[in-house]
Amino acid sequence: MLERKAYQELLDWKNKRKNENLKKCLIVKGARQVGKTYLIKKFGEKEYESFISIDFYEHPELKAIFDGELTSEAIYKRISANIPNVQLIPGNTLIFLDEIQRCGNARTAVKFLAEDFRFDVVSSGSLLGLSYGMDADDEVEEVESIPVGYEMQLTMHSLDFEEFLWANGFSKDTIQDLKHYLGSEEQIHESIHIKYEELFREFMVVGGMPEVVADYAVHKDFNRVYEIQSAILNEYKDDISKHAKGKEKQHVRLCYDAVPKQLAKELKKFQYSTVEKGQTRRKYGGSVQWLIDSSMVNPCYNISEPYIPLMANAKDEQFKLYINDTGLLTCIYGFETKRSILNNTIKGNARGGLYENIIAECLVKRGYSLYYYKPDDNHELEFLIEKAGSVVPIEVKAGNNASISLNNFINDFNPSVAYKFTANRNGIVGVKETLPHYMVMFL
């Protein structure tokens, strides 16, 4: 079993239910293939004496459990009546409502189940299906009453770099030894640096999709990686065909296909004209939002001024898009691109776009929202994040180019800390801290 950080978040929720009388069920969200269902099942089987899984996709007949009265007492009676040999053990049972978007009454009932502390309830489902109105799937049901205030949300992503290292045999202590260089003037030893830069390039190629990482950890075969990733991308395309509405099916696909092309050109913002010549937000804006809502891409918005809250200063019409998993992005580019990344021979604008994508992915997996700052045509900071009550600028370099934009930002806004991620080792000059790419996992 791959070790996931989200497991601890599941445990924290369980303990809050038990020790703090938390009146919230848990809903786990995330893109397809990031391991939501697998993790919840492992959690339920390990942490509870009884685990009950109700999958509304595989067993639509079980929606009958939520027909009629929606009190917890009535629902638990119908569970015992509809599922053979089920065990409802007070204080030691987890009920998992999978593909919950297919049963509107189940989502409504969460409020009543949350208030009953005999059993814990966790749910999961399609992101688009949970954003009712965005999903064209006929099986998605409208919710009569969304259980506002009775759901704790957990967003899962594919594995981050640290989880990737765990899967490949690196101990937590070994990884944490690296963390003490963050904020330190002590320089990382050259041999350690070379090793982790190599591992980070492997992560760029393999990505974090659990099925891919698990296979790579055993076989160390990049051809197998490519095949599994190709299958996942085909499933993503099938999802677009199934869940996008009407003409959006084609529009969403065109927008998704445009993202790798724009990253390879290092365009300064998403350009609708590269999706279709002469077109604008009016035609494709909804398709881009569809991709964002499905978590297939990570958005990064330009801001008018670099002050908290960044979201209030975001320019909604000026944004970049990054593929949610860089391994999938390299698969889209093809096997030769993977080879060039591994050998550290990739050149041109695509190299910069790839490093932007992986840093964006790592920041999102650390829980940050993404913004960038472009005050004029000649200067741009790749990312701004909010950290410890301050705006933190981040510059990303595939190699070790000059930091003109970052230096200007430091002079103009005097941040408490500024980061530059490069291929080189670490160093500190004033508030600017230069870090190797792999150190982003500690930010």
Position 157 scores a pLDDT of 97
pLDDT one-digit tens code per residue, 68-109: 999 999 999 999 999 999 999 999 999 999 999 999 999 999
Quick one: average pLDDT of 47-68?
96
Quick one: average pLDDT of 402-431?
95
What spatial distance separates the first Cα and last Cα of the chain, rounded to whole Å?
26
Burial 325-339 (b: 16+ CB within 10 A, else e): bbbbbbbbbeeebbe
pLDDT band at 134 (very low <50, low <70, confident <90, very high): low
pLDDT one-digit tens code per residue, 173-188: 999 999 999 999 999 9
Quick one: average pLDDT of 7-24?
97
More confident residue, 248 or 259: 259
Give yes or no for residue 223 having a pLDDT over 70: yes
More confident residue, 281 or 228: 228
Lowest mean pLDDT among 83-87, 274-278, 324-328: 274-278
Lowest mean pLDDT among 61-70, 96-105, 237-246, 346-355: 237-246
Predicted TM-score (pTM) of this structure: 0.94
Position 144 scores a pLDDT of 66
Position 115 scores a pLDDT of 95
Mean pLDDT of the chain: 93
